Chains A and B, each alone.
Chain A
Amino acid sequence: MPEPTVIEQTDTDTLLDVPWNVVVHNDPVNLMNYVTRVFIKVFGFTEQRAEKHMLEVHQNGRSIVWTGMRERAEAYVQQLHGHLLLATLEKAE
């Protein structure tokens, strides 16, 4: 009987499995009302939730605005860049 083939798990599999954070970083130029509006538009947040994240960005320098699968996280970062926010992808802890 042949030995079973062991398929090594690749890094890519690992990257796809772990959740990813979409992080928005503070900048001194974007207006607070504008950032709030972008969060509502991109994520469908309520105004209250959007303001909470906007203030987190403003006061703490960054806010995790979404966590989930890599592909969707990339799409959100692209949308946020489209609105000129400083956004990055980070592996969730």
Chain B
Amino acid sequence: MKVTRIDEQTIAIGPLDLFSTELLHQIHLSANPEGSRAARERLYPSPTHGEDADFDQDWNDYVEPDLVDMFATSIEVIESDIADFPPARPAADHHTLHLPIKNLEAWIHGLNQARLALAARHGFTEKEMDGPLTGEGLDALALFQVHFYGWLQECFLRVLRDE
């Protein structure tokens, strides 16, 4: 799989198998911190490390709603870009996803939300992040997701850097 620049406005990611495609469709779910206090605290951290409760409360009341909207916008862009992917025809095991370069900022942000929320939800530390991709079960799948999304982020950052 590789990310290729097609023209001034477009990049292509492919070939994407069904598993990788499914991971793309999991971005919005992975980015949602609902049900995990750790994930929520990571996406919306205290601006004072919890040392000023009054200021933290004001932050929650006045700043956090803007952040929630901003984060949702990135995810909406991603969802819209993959809404019809993979196409029903032609039927194939692998497909190529075309993305507008103008949407890459939103992708980088949405992928970051997903990575941070997943890592917090599964309690990944530096040890897991730098360790091998071994094991089974939900933790192993989540770790793979974090790295897969990270690889995409790196590719997109490179495209934007070469702009």
Contact = CB atoms under 8 A, between A and B. Distances in A.
B47 interface: yes
A34 B153 CA distance: 8
Interface stretch (A1-9, A24-32, A48-56): A24-32
Interface stretch (B12-20, B38-46, B91-99, B133-141): B38-46
B126 interface: yes
Contact of A28 (B45, B47, B125): B125
Contacts of A28: 119, 124-126, 129-130
Given A34-B153, A81-B44, 5 more contacts: A27-B42, A29-B116, A29-B119, A34-B157, A84-B112
Interface string B146-160: 100010011001001
Contact of B153 (A27, A31, A86, A89): A31
B119 to A, nearest CB: 5
Give 5 closest A-B pairs by Cβ, nearest first: A28-B126, A28-B129, A29-B119, A77-B47, A33-B157
Contacts, number: 61
A6 B43 CA distance: 46
The secondary structure that dominates the B interface is: helix
A82 B70 CA distance: 7
A88 B48 contact: yes
A78 interface: yes
B112 to A, nearest CB: 5
Nearest to B157: A33
Contact of B150 (A27, A31, A83, A84): A31
Interface in B61-118: 63, 66-67, 70, 108-109, 112-113, 115-116
